[in-house]
């Protein structure tokens, strides 16, 4: 695809750091990328086996400064503590690239973010 390298790096850094931050140790984070050539779309999924997101939080998830519960983050050296901006920034970057983001989550089972971006 054609895109802004720094912004796309930021987008996936935000999704991956959330997956790590909200998954207890021993869990799994999986990334898959699929090129749907016939649709002209790239599909990238970031899946984790973490704490999940309650259904009532999903509508606000991409709002600036929104955090489900500040006590949920796993304390981790080297990661910034949450500001509630990561997903708002991710969404802005995706929209600037004419893409879309979806989330599918089950509390205590895990979360899957799916990003669709136009490919060449």
Ligand X SMILES: Nc1ncnc2c1ncn2[C@@H]1O[C@H](COP(=O)(O)OP(=O)(O)O)[C@@H](O)[C@H]1O
| Pairwise CA distance, residues 15 & 19, whole Å | 6
Binding partner of residue 67 among Mg ion, ligand X, none, CB cut-off 5 to 8 Å per kind = ligand X
Report in angstroms how near the CB of residue 91 gets to ligand X at its nearest. 9
| DSSP H or E run through 41 | strand 41-48
Structure tokens at 103: 């989330």
Phi, psi torsion values for 81, nearest 5 degrees: -70, 155
By CB under 5 A, the residues from 1 to 20 that bind Mg ion are 18
Contact 4, 96 (CB under 8 A): yes
To the nearest whole angstrom, how small is the minimum distance from the Cβ of residue 44 to ligand X?
14
The answer to whether 79 touches 21, Cβ cutoff 8 Å, is yes
Q: Which is nearer to Mg ion, 47 or 119 (CB)?
A: 47
Give the residue with the Cβ less far from ligand X, 32 or 35.
32
Q: Is 23 in the site for Mg ion (CB under 5 A)?
A: no
User: Given the complex with Mg ion, which of 89 and 119 has the nearer CB atom?
Assistant: 89
Residues at the site binding Mg ion, with contacts judged by CB under 5 A: 18, 86
């Amino acid at each position: 695809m054609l895109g802004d390298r720094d912004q796309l790096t930021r987008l996936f850094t935000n999704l991956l750091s959330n997956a790590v931050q909200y998954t207890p140790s021993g869990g799994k984070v999986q990334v898959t990328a699929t090129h749907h050539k016939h649709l002209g779309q790239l599909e990238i999924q970031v899946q984790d086996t973490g704490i999940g997101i309650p259904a009532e939080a999903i509508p606000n998830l991409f709002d600036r400064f929104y955090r489900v519960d500040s006590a949920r983050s796993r304390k981790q050296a080297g990661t910034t503590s949450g500001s509630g901006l990561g997903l708002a920034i991710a969404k802005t970057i995706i929209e600037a690239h004419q893409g879309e983001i979806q989330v599918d989550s089950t509390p205590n089972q895990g979360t899957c973010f799916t990003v669709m971006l136009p490919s060449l």
